[in-house]
Amino acid sequence: MPFKCGYVTVIGRPNSGKSTLVNALVGRKVAIVSPKPQTTRLRIQGIVNRENAQIVLTDTPGIHKPASALNQQMMEEVQQSLDGVDILALVADASVDFGAGDRYALDWVRRFHGKSFLILNKIDLFRDKRKLLPRIEIYSRDHTFTEIFPVSALTGNGMPALEKSLIEHLPEGVPFFPQDQFTDQPERFLAAELVREKAILKTREELPHAIAVLVDTYEETEKLLHIRATIYVEREGQKGIVIGKGGLMLKQIGTEARLELESMLGAKIFLELYVKVLPNWRDNPAIVRQLDWHRQLEQLSEER
């Protein structure tokens, strides 16, 4: 069987179950920080790895804006943000009536030139599946979807069929990301990069590229985003530089990275930094693989 790999962008009204669906496909909870509209890579949410396929799932914030606020400029940006996307998946809460928000979301799909899926979610909330038909009719009046799937992202009902079909409709290709990783999202990448940037900036002369930063844990709680990251250096002396007198340098690096991240992500952040000596970390497969993923991500977003 050929390997399938591609991008699936998930859109829909708030509360339609997009996050639940993404988590269900990925197979674990992907921490989600409501991202301000930023670059393409900031929207990557999760990567689904299967033996014969890799699905890169992307969320699209801001789909709930009223149609009246829509101007030409915005539509062009929408169009651009959908460049390179293989499948656009519209998630709708089938348990509530079709409304203006659904109409607006549907307009996005109609402007998309690739394959489109209609995912009617929350079917666990009603017994009579015949209720779905009028709903499908409304959508089909204005757009011909490539596939239509009734599912429950919560119970998992219909999800295997959806996943199978998504994979079938993806193009053949090599995986964009290492397959043993990454159920991840770019805020995490951004956090690591920001810490690295501040560390290099503040310690300039002393340690140019001898450092790598990896995020160990990335947890979203009610009140804040808890990030634990490790700065890897190659020698004991470099560790001393990064930590600084009385820990002052590390504290400054952390504060600057945290402030910038907070303003970029619009979330309160608790950033915990550790420094570890790992001689020749460049030869360490586990680290290089993750850094490699970073590079791939950068390349991908440049291409798009």
Residues that bind Mg ion (CB under 5 A): 18-19
In three-state secondary structure terms, 125 is helix
Are 28 and 77 spatial neighbours (Cβ–Cβ below 8 Å)?
A: no
The option from ligand GDP, Mg ion, none interacting with 225 (CB < 5 to 8 A, set by class) reads: none
C-alpha–C-alpha distance, residues 63 and 215, integer Å = 30
List Cβ neighbours of 154 (8 Å cut-off, separation of 6 or more). Answer: 17, 20, 24, 122, 124
Cβ-based nearer residue to Mg ion, 19 or 58: 19
C-alpha–C-alpha distance, residues 4 and 54, integer Å = 6
Cβ-based nearer residue to ligand GDP, 32 or 224: 32
What distances in angstroms separate CA 126 from CA 81, 122, 155, 255, 273, one per listed residue?
35, 8, 13, 50, 48
Residue 152 binds ligand GDP (CB under 6 A): yes
Cβ-based nearer residue to ligand GDP, 6 or 101: 101
Cβ-based nearer residue to Mg ion, 9 or 19: 19
Q: What angle do CA 287, 271, 249 make, to 5 degrees?
A: 85
Q: Shortest approach of ligand GDP to residue 294 CB, angstroms?
A: 26
43: nearest Cα among 186, 219, 227: 186
Are 88 and 118 spatial neighbours (Cβ–Cβ below 8 Å)?
A: no
Residue 161 binds ligand GDP (CB under 6 A): no
The option from Mg ion, ligand GDP, none interacting with 46 (CB < 5 to 8 A, set by class) reads: none
Residue 41 binds ligand GDP (CB under 6 A): no
Are 185 and 31 spatial neighbours (Cβ–Cβ below 8 Å)?
A: yes
Cβ-based nearer residue to ligand GDP, 18 or 169: 18
Among 107, 124, 220, 292, binds ligand GDP (CB under 6 A): 124
Residue 80 binds ligand GDP (CB under 6 A): no
The option from Mg ion, ligand GDP, none interacting with 40 (CB < 5 to 8 A, set by class) reads: none
Residue 29 binds ligand GDP (CB under 6 A): no
Among 70, 138, 154, 259, binds ligand GDP (CB under 6 A): 154
Q: Shortest approach of ligand GDP to residue 194 CB, angstroms?
A: 26
Question: For the chain, how many helices (H) and strands (E)?
Answer: 9, 9
Among 58, 121, 183, 185, binds ligand GDP (CB under 6 A): 121
Residue 58 binds ligand GDP (CB under 6 A): no
Helix (H) or strand (E) holding 70: none
Are 90 and 12 spatial neighbours (Cβ–Cβ below 8 Å)?
A: yes
The option from ligand GDP, Mg ion, none interacting with 20 (CB < 5 to 8 A, set by class) reads: ligand GDP
Residue 19 binds ligand GDP (CB under 6 A): yes
C-alpha–C-alpha distance, residues 170 and 86, integer Å = 7
In the complex, residue closest to ligand GDP by CB:
17
Q: Give me the residues that bind ligand GDP (CB under 6 A), please.
A: 12, 14-20, 121-122, 124-125, 152-154
